[in-house]
Amino acid sequence: MQCYKKSILLLASLLVASASFAVGASATETLDAAQIVAASDRARGGGLSGVQWTIDITGQDSGGPIDRRTYMVRASGEDSLAQATYPPREAGSRLLQNGRSMWFGKPTLTKPVFISTRQKMVGPASNGDIASTNYAKDYDATVLRTEQVNGEDAYVLNLVAKNKFVTYDRIVYYVSVSHLVPLKAEFYTVSGKLFKTAVFEMNNRLDIDGKAQPFISKMSIQDTIEKSNFSLLQYSEVRTKQFGADTFNLGSLNRP
């Protein structure tokens, strides 16, 4: 009788474990590659209806002096506006991203200047790195596999640019399975050469519709060709905010 009871208990345990696994697997299987990327974009400002943050950038390029810059960034949907606040010589200059187009402006210019999101800014960091991230709209994504990153299960995704206007041609993107936030990235040229990597930290939080949304706190970029080249992007003063209709208007970019 005792043996029979043990068998029943063991069978019940196995059924519960099997059901739990099935529920977990089904929850995971409902997310395709595009949905995973879209969820991870939110942790970097993409797809949110209104968010603002301060970004401090430190970097070095080609063995030159350490460069430091600070921007206040506003983002909503596919648009973002970064306004320089440091150093003083850069204060008032702005980078506006409307969809896939980026423009530079400041009060002393008569009209905005179209620039590339791929252009270097500080160290190996590009103009597009400081804007909000909308990889779900800019890249075709496929899940390659899952693997552990610092002890955390991660989706490994291959992102291929939909057009030439985006910041990178191809990205291998590591996204947390449990939190759907980016953990690290590898950036490749169109010929397939790895030229820089990034590691992300997510220690900021936003309140979105009563739910806590993890938000990026640090992005460390390393040049894989010139090993001394690096960029450190630190994010602070993160908050939700609604913006006026002209905030992301190209015609307003050069206003004082």
Delimit the domains of the chain by residue range.
33-252
Give the tokens for residue 100: 């896939």
pLDDT at 27 over 80: no
Overall size of the chain counted in residues = 256
Q: What is the C-alpha separation between 170 and 217, in angstroms, rounded?
A: 24
Q: What whole-number distance in Å separates Cα of residue 204 and Cα of residue 219?
A: 12
- Closest CA relative to residue 56, chosen from 189, 232, 230, 174: 232
Q: How far apart are CA 141 and CA 171, in angstroms?
A: 9
Query: Is residue 24 scored above 90 in pLDDT?
Result: no
Which residues in the chain belong to E strands, given as ranges?
51-60, 67-76, 79-86, 94-98, 101-105, 113-115, 120-122, 125-126, 139-149, 152-161, 170-176, 182-188, 194-201, 204-208, 211-215, 218-223, 230-240
pLDDT digits (tens, 9 = 90+) for 198-212: 999 999 999 998 999
Per residue in 220-242, pLDDT (tens digit) is 999 999 999 999 999 999 999 99
One-letter amino acid at 94 equals: R
Question: For 33-252, which CATH class?
Answer: mainly beta
Helix, strand, coil in percent for the chain, rounding step 5: 20, 45, 35
**Which has the closest alpha carbon to 216: 127, 132, 100, 125?**
132
What the block records as the tokens of 187 is 């950036």
Q: What single DSSP character describes residue 88?
A: G
State pLDDT tens for residues 35-57: 999 999 999 999 999 999 999 99
Give residue 71's Cα distance to chain centre: 16
Residue 229, H or E segment: none
**Amino acid 19: pLDDT:** 40
Given a cut of 60, is residue 11 above it in pLDDT?
A: no
Longest Cα–Cα distance of the chain, Å, equals 91
Tokens of 8: 């029943």
Tokens of 250: 């190209």
Q: Region 19-42: what's the mean pLDDT?
A: 70
What tens digit of pLDDT does each residue of 184-199 get? 999 999 999 999 999 9
pLDDT tops 60 at residue 152? yes
